[in-house]
Structure 1
Amino acid sequence: MTLLARPVTASVRSVLPPARRLGPASVWALAGGYAAAWIIVGPSDGGWLSFAGQLAGAEAVLLMSVAIVLISVLPAVEAWFDGIDKTAIWHRRLSITGLLLLVPHIMFSSGHHGPPTGARGTDQQIWIAGGIGITPFLSWIRALDRFPSATRVDLFYSTEGAAPFADEITAVARTHNVRVHLHDSGARGYLTPDEVLAAAGHDDPRAVSVFLCGPAGMVGAFVRRFREAGIPNRNIHREHFDWR
């Protein structure tokens, strides 16, 4: 009598999850892992409410990106979602969820709590502008009448010679919690980080948020000194420009 070996393919397959489950499982794992990474890092500034709005926006972008990928490579992934019809359902589901997540993102992480920095920075802020680096701060100053804020701000504006928009800036600052420090580098030399720290006079550097915009060399030097002074890197927001 000839004995035939029993095929083991079926038993091996029974251990593995069906291919149709891989798609939904991968989506949930990706979204959950992304959210977990955000929560582990925690809010950099602005509190948990603002952080929740930022997380909602990040998840919205992620889910809508996955939805776009699904519809773009539909034939290649339909087996993972148990057919083309269910893949299309998942595409709609992810798109709608992403759109819904934009609601808390807009409500809690935008400028509804004050000027543009209100949702990002701490209650004690230092703004530093070098030359044309005043541009973003000028828009924030102008927004204070529409979005009043209790945030204490020290604005340092360094220029060579008379500072453009100085009258407008100081006029708005008088009615808000903003102290303006005009620095003429032509007459007084370059503004230094230690001058800024001394003039701002904050007792706890860990509670301070710094926003800088200016030449790359200036911004880099200030960032290094502020880190040495104890201001957390997550509280230092910078933008620089180079002349080409």
Structure 2
Amino acid sequence: MDRWAAAFAQAGLPWPGLIPPCSLAGVRAALPDVQETELRRAVWTALGQPRPRSRKLSPPARARLTHLAELRDVFSPTDAVQVGAELAGEGELAADLLAVRPWLDPDTPTREVLPAVLRGEWSGLLALLGEHGPWVYAATVADLQALARLNGELVVAASQADEEAVLNAALASGRTFPALLARLEATDYRRPAPGPAPPLAALETAFWQEAGRGARAAYERWRARRHEGSSSPPR
């Protein structure tokens, strides 16, 4: 909870000590005298987005939110080391890949994550899903397409939601920091439409569940083949 106290202190606000804050309404009730704009900015800062909507998107940039922003083949240990070194400055890469691979050390440095993933899953595709989206490692093109589709559904749904709905969904997401919705909020991508709030938290959860399912399946295939190799009788 240190980041919450720090974010509110930065905004000159007292931190009410909600553990954890589960909705904007809860934070609002704890600080009834705080101006709404200041309150929301402090919450976004605590969620890892200190400058919400500061990046103005052109129509082409808006379209790229659901397109692959980066795609790398990782077919060998050399590939993994090289790509890991090139992308060592990508802040969310390690967190995203490790979030769905609990069998790996959560403190693995960014440049060492890809070699570690490759050792347990073999070759795959590393991709950044949109300029403000998640990093994923998929065993096949079909797996990558499934993840891209789920991320696209989240982006499209969130783009039609109002700020409170997005904030509440980001508060409900504990899989990565920053949450995918907090990353997107760096831009002015949202164009709220009338109607009920879309199930944003469920959409983000569905994405991470699929990423975890694919990673687990690849890991189990690797373990099974390793076991078969070690138990085969000598010829």
| TM-score for the superposition, normalised by structure 1 | 0.24
Q: Which of the pair is proportionally richer in helix? A: 1
- The structure having more radius of gyration, on CA atoms, is 1
Relative contact order (alpha carbons < 8 A, sep ≥ 6): 1 or 2 greater? 2
Q: Which of the pair is proportionally richer in strand? A: 1
| TM-score for the superposition, normalised by structure 2 | 0.24
